Structure 1
Amino acid sequence: MSHEMIALFMFSTMMLMLLTGQRVFGAIGFVATISALLLWGTGGSDIPFSAVMKLMKWYPLLTLPMFIFMGYILSESKIADDLYKMFHVWMGPVSGGLAIGTIGLMVLISAMNGLSVAGMAIGATIALPELIKRSYDKRMITGVIQAGSSLGILVPPSVVLVLYAMIARQPVGQLWLAGVIPGLLMATMFIVYIYIRCRITPSLGPALSREERANVTTREKLRLLSAGVLPLIIFFAMMFPFVKGWTSLTESSAIGAMTAFLAAVLRRRMTWKVFEVSVRSTLAISCMFMLIIMAAMGFGAVFDGLGAVHAIETLFTERLGLSPWTILILMQLSFLLMGTFLDDTAMLVIVAPLYIPLVDHLGFNLIWYGVLYTITTQIAYMTPPFGYNLFLMRAMAPPEIGMRDIYGSIVPFVAVMILALAVNMMFPEIALWLPTFIYSG
């Protein structure tokens, strides 16, 4: 059997197991282990064992629980509530201002958390009821929350980019810096769309009335503005020494977690319940990520042993005559397809053994490709029929918001995200300028 057929058989078996409801790490690890045993006999058992040992020796892995713990502390201690009150007061007088403020809230939450699920939960529990009460259009606000929450996997400290760094063996710091400008660019594009749309049709996002604005004093505005300083302090306390080279990535993640913990204590939000929920959630998610990465590394080792990447590259470039850019676009389209029924981590570890070496062989920058992968994942989160964010939104939204509203809400925002993806593909400097500037200085 040819290398191409073996690779196709491995992928089809894994996808079949996933479609039957098997856990991601179980499906990937099972296919990797069985393939290794069938191809190389009992000696193949060393491949998954080596993957485990390699993972245990990867020191930056300690950053994952630190960032996840930091996010849960800030989320469970309700510091995000203060942020939304700030945006509510300062942006309310503008048509669509609360929707614009929600995007701003999501950017700050992303800078504290690194997971889109946290942004979705905060947006649905804090922003959504307030926006409904202010007579905002249902489709507008559900689209805003879904699009804004997706920024969590692009704006640093993105957990998804940490996972990509582990699998692609790229510097996490450079990937984080590469995600800054594309993430802010996409948030700005969302804001511009909301502003223009609400200026054309003010009923979609009515501004606060004069009476409501008069009830808020300048002193209260300034007090609420200070709430927005806290996540910036945490972010810079973590990132500045890392970028300057004073601390390692792992040390910076510990600084971020400790700063978030102290912030919750100083604001008298640190209860035993908050601490327990944060620790339990951190442990559950960290273990899940470790199992998936371990399985992916075993799967990738089998591919390396087969030489399947080189065989598939030859198939695309020589036999089919496809250009590198055509192959890259087909890869992104496959991510969009997989995103209808898989989450970002599953998509990455399933195709990483094939796509990442292929991208490298085609001559593309792997830091830049990490940003493209993440943006494509954001789009996949919101595309029917089974986009991840669509069902999260339905689970959290009130009964008056139906699936038709949720599906209809994402169309303009997906269009904006596709435009952002195209811009980042055409101009790689958008992603690469900041890491090049920082690390070459």
Structure 2
Amino acid sequence: MSYEMIALLMFSSMMMSMLTGQRVFAAIGVVGVVAAALLWGNGGFELGFSANMKLLKWYALLTLPMFIFMGYMLSESGIAEDLYKAFHVWFGGVRGGLALGTIGLMVVISAMNGLSVAGMAIGATIALPELLRRGYDKIMVSGVIQAGSSLGILVPPSVVMVLYGMIARQPVGQLWLAGVFPGLLLALLFAIYVVIRCWINPALGPALPPEERDMPLIEKLKLAQAGVLPFLIFFLMMGLFLMGITSLVESSAVGALGSLFAAWFKGRLTWEMWNRVLEQTLGITCMFMWIIMAALCFGAVFDGLGAVKAIEGLLVGEMGLGPWQILILMQVSFLIMGAFLDDTAMLVIVAPLYIPLVGKLGFDLVWYGVLYTITCQIAYMTPPFGYNLFLMRAMAPPEISLIDIYRSIVPFVLIMILGMIIIMAFPQIALWLPQHVYVRG
């Protein structure tokens, strides 16, 4: 049997295992280990052990539990709810102002958490009821919350970028910096869309009546103080790292300790909340570790088979495609896979194939990490298996139907695709900040 046929058999076996409902890490890891044993005998079983040892030696892996802990601690302590009250007053006088405030809240939550799930939960439980009560269009605000929460995997500290950095062997610090301007660009595009829609049809997002938003400036400033602690934690954490005072892992510890202090300072640190945060942190961290270990094992087998060279020969040699044509095909395949797989599954499936090929084609792997992350955002919102669709359906009130949720994401998915095209056309949007900071340092 040819190596190409073995690689195709491995890939199809993995996909079939996932379709039966197996966990991602189990499907990938078992196929990798079994294929290695059949190809190279008893020694092939050592691939799984080697992947485990390689994983445990990755010092940067310590950032995962730290940032996940920071996000859940800030979310569970109610700081996000305080922030939304401030956005409510400051933006409420504009048409669509509360929707704009929700986008702002999602950006802040993204900088606090690094995951999409937390922003989704906060937006659906805090912002959505208030927006509906104020007469906002249910379809528009459903899309705003889903799109805004997806920024959590692009704006630093992004946990997905940590995962990409480990598999692609790229500096996590540069990946985070590369996600700053693209994340803000997408948030700006979302805001522009909301402003235009509400300007054309004011009924979609009515402004708050004056009696609800008119208050002395001193009262508004007191409400704005809700954002001081999370912003202080974020800038302290990222500032120390960018100035070279702390390493990446040490900065993550600063963020975790800062979130713990913020919860204590607010008087909301209880044993019940502490246990809940630790359980959530442990669960998410273990999931990521299993997935990385399985991906390393699967990737080692693929690399040994020479599958990357075979695909490169097919696309470049036989089909005669140029680098940009191949890159566009990759992104299209990501968008198709995103309708059926989550972000981690997509990464571990294509990482052994796409990432080395992207490097050989002459593209920057940090820049490509941003493109991959944006496609993950789109995957979170595309049926039939978009995570954010399921979360919104579970948390939304009865008047928002599944059809409404599906309709709500269409314009925002198109906006994300537009944002991805802009970043492909102008790579410096992603690369200027990491190049500037690291060259200067």
Shorter-chain TM-score: which interval?
Answer: over 0.9
| Other-structure match for 2:414 | 415
For 2:336, what is the secondary structure of its paired residue?
helix
Aligned partner letter, 2:288 = F
Equivalents in 1 of 2:395, 2:102: separation in Å?
A: 16
State how 1:97-136 maps to structure 2 within 5 Å: 97-136=97-136
Aligned partner letter, 1:249 = L
Q: CA deviation at 1:438?
A: 0.2
Equivalents in 1 of 2:260, 2:31: separation in Å?
A: 41
Deviates more, 1:95-104 or 1:222-231: 222-231
| CA displacement, residues 115-137 of structure 1 (integer Å, 9 cap, x when unaligned) | 00000000000000000000000
| Other-structure match for 1:56 | 56
Q: Say whether residues 1:213 and 2:213 are aligned partners.
A: yes
Equivalents in 1 of 2:409, 2:253: separation in Å?
A: 36
Q: CA deviation at 1:388?
A: 1.8
| Other-structure match for 2:221 | 222
Equivalents in 1 of 2:396, 2:280: separation in Å?
A: 22
| Other-structure match for 2:171 | 171
State how 1:261-300 maps to structure 2 within 5 Å: 261-300=260-299
Q: Give the conservation status (yes or no) of the 8 Å contact 1:342–1:388.
A: no
| CA displacement, residues 18-69 of structure 1 (integer Å, 9 cap, x when unaligned) | 0110000000000000000011011111211111100000001000000000
| Other-structure match for 1:65 | 65
| CA displacement, residues 168-194 of structure 1 (integer Å, 9 cap, x when unaligned) | 000000000000000001101111110
Q: CA deviation at 1:240?
A: 0.7
| Other-structure match for 1:332 | 331
Aligned partner letter, 2:55 = L
Percentage identity across aligned positions?
Answer: 71
For 1:410, what is the secondary structure of its paired residue?
helix
Q: CA deviation at 1:217?
A: 2.9
For structure 2, list consecutive stretches of 5 or more residues without a partner in the other structure: none
Q: CA deviation at 1:257?
A: 0.2
Equivalents in 2 of 1:4, 1:195: separation in Å?
A: 51
For structure 1, list consecutive stretches of 5 or more residues without a partner in the other structure: none
Aligned partner letter, 2:188 = T
Equivalents in 1 of 2:260, 2:349: separation in Å?
A: 35
Q: CA deviation at 1:71?
A: 0.4
Q: CA deviation at 1:331?
A: 1.1
Q: Give the conservation status (yes or no) of the 8 Å contact 1:182–1:424.
A: yes
| Other-structure match for 1:250 | 249
| Other-structure match for 2:31 | 31
Equivalents in 2 of 1:163, 1:24: separation in Å?
A: 15
Equivalents in 2 of 1:310, 1:389: separation in Å?
A: 36
Equivalents in 2 of 1:277, 1:329: separation in Å?
A: 43
Q: Say whether residues 1:93 and 2:85 are aligned partners.
A: no
Equivalents in 1 of 2:16, 2:123: separation in Å?
A: 34
For 2:225, what is the secondary structure of its paired residue?
helix
Equivalents in 2 of 1:3, 1:178: separation in Å?
A: 37
| Other-structure match for 1:440 | 439
Q: CA deviation at 1:273?
A: 1.2
Equivalents in 2 of 1:10, 1:202: separation in Å?
A: 54
| Other-structure match for 2:425 | 426
**TM-score (norm. length: structure 2):** 0.99
State how 1:339-418 maps to structure 2 within 5 Å: 339-418=338-417
| Other-structure match for 2:2 | 2
Equivalents in 2 of 1:213, 1:178: separation in Å?
A: 37
| CA displacement, residues 291-333 of structure 1 (integer Å, 9 cap, x when unaligned) | 0000000011111111111111101110111221111111111
Q: CA deviation at 1:2?
A: 2.2
Q: CA deviation at 1:211?
A: 1.8
Q: Give the conservation status (yes or no) of the 8 Å contact 1:93–1:209.
A: yes
Q: CA deviation at 1:3?
A: 2.3
Q: Say whether residues 1:13 and 2:2 are aligned partners.
A: no
Equivalents in 2 of 1:356, 1:267: separation in Å?
A: 44
**TM-score (norm. length: structure 1):** 0.99
| Other-structure match for 2:196 | 196
Deviates more, 1:335-344 or 1:199-208: 335-344
- Aligned CA RMSD, in angstroms, stands at 0.8
Q: Give the conservation status (yes or no) of the 8 Å contact 1:14–1:27.
A: yes
| Other-structure match for 1:22 | 22
For 1:157, what is the secondary structure of its paired residue?
coil
Equivalents in 2 of 1:317, 1:33: separation in Å?
A: 30
Q: Say whether residues 1:232 and 2:231 are aligned partners.
A: yes
Equivalents in 1 of 2:275, 2:244: separation in Å?
A: 33
For 2:293, what is the secondary structure of its paired residue?
helix
Q: CA deviation at 1:386?
A: 2.4
| Other-structure match for 1:142 | 142
